Amino acid sequence: MPKLGKFYNVTITFGARDELREKLVALSYLRGDGGEYAPIARDIMIEAVERFVSDLDRQEQKEFAEILKNVQASTILDKMEREERLRERMKTVPPSETSS
């Protein structure tokens, strides 16, 4: 799994054809990212999602906003549960295994 930067806390993976990856790599070189296509892909996705949401009709935007609130709340709960499981697991690990 790639190392995440300090501003990004999740990795999104999706299938794509070689042609899309090749275009993203070419765009990354054009932009000066040296073939690292994650930054350009992320920028394109952010812009595309924002445009897609803004193109929704008024009712769909209201529905989207409500769904998004629920998804965000679920994400917070999931994170809290993961942290709690980690704390519980750390309680069962002998001290010699936690120090390195």
Give the domain range for residue 91.
58-100
CA pair distance 72, 11, nearest whole angstrom: 16
Reading the block at residue 71, the tokens are: 């998804």
In the chain, how many domains are there? 2
24 Rama sector, left if φ>0, alpha if ψ -120 to 50, beta otherwise: alpha
- Are 76 and 49 part of one and the same domain? no
- Are 51 and 63 part of one and the same domain? no
What's the pLDDT score for residue 85?
A: 85
Residue 33 to residues 41, 91, 100, Cα–Cα distance (Å) = 11, 43, 35
- Are 24 and 37 part of one and the same domain? yes
How does pLDDT run across 34-86, given as a tens digit for each residue?
A: 999 999 999 999 999 999 999 999 999 999 999 999 999 998 998 888 888 88
Evaluate whether residue 6 is within a structural domain.
no
Q: Are 71 and 64 in contact (CB under 8 A)?
A: no
- Are 50 and 63 part of one and the same domain? no
- Are 100 and 63 part of one and the same domain? yes
- Are 97 and 63 part of one and the same domain? yes
